[in-house]
Structure 1
């Protein structure tokens, strides 16, 4: 099989403030290009989504890895998932600490354990056994995250009341299809500021934060985790595609269902088994970028869709 490689990434669906608009857009464009280079040079979709998400985890503009937010105790707890559409293999981690690239750790769970998900202290113990690099918490937390956490503490605000404001960050993710027609997804997050200790959102949950199946496509979601879990958003999108919907219609209908059923907002990226893709969201903004056919598409605001040629990529 010789398919046209496709990759799509997102930097989280939330009310991205103007001061982060440019860095968010530049960040997703850079991640998409990195992932596409993997595909262009014959790499797998699994390698491509991991590579793209690592770029986002290393960028403090995003709530994942080096941009993670603080929980109610002022600590960092990270979640991630990666899934291979060839055989439905999946690796997931939740509530892990001091790991700069949770997505790479999640891939280790996929490839080196018989399990699908590891959490908490057991996960960190396995990371140490696998020689996964760790970093001090202070290297993962930005000044902005600290000030945001202090604001929550001062006014005793909940994660729900501030979710769709400029004080809430969110998830990053990627989906891809390689030249062999294999799809994959990856999602990583630092959670929601001031969340309860031990809270796990949708990101590492199979079928909610992400799902990949060569027979249908791949999805990575972002938004209010509790709402996403209630409707298993990622699998819901693929169910719509199985019923004959286009990726865009499948995404839009799933997001509308989530809002109407549980009043949740969010966003997602999806690529179908035929290489069609979409980026959709119901929050104020979502930074996204996609590459197929040598063209990079990207956007931030509702209805926004810019394109630029990538002939100069080597």
Structure 2
């Protein structure tokens, strides 16, 4: 019997409205999502690990200015980029996370190296970057690489209002919570989850969201589930969303659909949380759950074709990623 394998990704969730999405922008998002999920799928198809598949998928989104991660990260109050990322594999519950990253092109790759090449589970700020440069041979990336006019305009607008944005500001998909992630099951039966984000526009004081918090925005355990979350980070942490889904399945024997639904539409929503999760169980069943008008998301069908959706009420459709 052939071991099943599968993958799913997300590129953020929130108020994503058809009326504000131009055809050109929608096409760009669909193409990028297809490219991301197919990059991860190819790793799995060739017998690669779930960890490497999720990292490959997230790397594509980090390299795109469309998503709030890597190249497209939002700016802090000090007009800098501070990024978070996490990788977890389900076999031995190994995990690697980084936070407050400023000079690494692909934080998700550094998170994997923290897991595989250090004795620690999380590294922060300057220490994480010293590990990257001195122990792993990463190239120093200037902040200019991450700076875009779009993000600068968002920051100026947010400073004017005196708030922080859990979303895009003055952009056709405003009120989108910007985090990217992937979950996968490989041919060896291993689950993995990977999540990456630029955080909040106008964030201050070294703010850290749910993305690098194991059990908050990211979790994976073999025989159970892999989860990556996107949305209001403070509430995803407070509700331990990823870990709660895993616990309901592991100990309450909930189905993946029920666990995701009850968590995303439970305390998280009742406390004012907006967002969603992608999850995949030990049989390779993929589930998407959101409590908002849209979530950039994709998976791959049995023919190896990318299935992409954006809006909450939308059925998945085939995209080629070219």
TM bucket (normalised to shorter chain) is over 0.9
Distance in 1 between the 2:166 and 2:139 partners?
A: 33
Equivalent in the alignment of 1:209: 217
1:18 paired residue among 17, 21, 28: 21
Q: Does 1:227 align with 2:230?
A: no
TM-score by length of 2: 0.91
1:104 paired residue among 94, 109, 130: 109
Distance in 1 between the 2:175 and 2:91 partners?
A: 38
State the 1:307 CA deviation.
3.5
Superposition map of 1:68-87 within 5 A: 68-87=73-92
247-256 vs 225-234, greater mean Cα deviation: 247-256
Q: Does 1:306 align with 2:279?
A: no
- What SS does the aligned partner of 2:67 have? coil
Distance in 2 between the 1:76 and 1:240 partners?
A: 36
Specify every segment of 5 or more residues in structure 1 that has no aligned partner in the other structure, as ranges.
Answer: none
Equivalent in the alignment of 1:151: 157
- What SS does the aligned partner of 1:300 have? strand
Equivalent in the alignment of 2:41: 36
Q: Does 1:277 align with 2:286?
A: yes
- What SS does the aligned partner of 2:158 have? helix
Distance in 2 between the 1:70 and 1:54 partners?
A: 20
Task: Give the root-mean-square deviation of aligned CA atoms.
Answer: 2.2
Equivalent in the alignment of 1:5: 5
Specify every segment of 5 or more residues in structure 2 that has no aligned partner in the other structure, as ranges.
Answer: none
Distance in 2 between the 1:80 and 1:119 partners?
A: 11
Superposition map of 1:179-198 within 5 A: 179-198=187-206
Question: For residues 89 and 134 of structure 1, do their structure 2 counterparts lie closer, same or farther at Cα, with a shift above 3 Å needed?
Answer: same
Contact 2:86 2:98 (C-alpha < 8 Å) held by counterparts = yes
Contact 1:73 1:197 (C-alpha < 8 Å) held by counterparts = no
Q: Does 1:45 align with 2:64?
A: no
Equivalent in the alignment of 1:178: 186
Distance in 2 between the 1:161 and 1:153 partners?
A: 14
Superposition map of 1:129-148 within 5 A: 129=134, 130-148=136-154
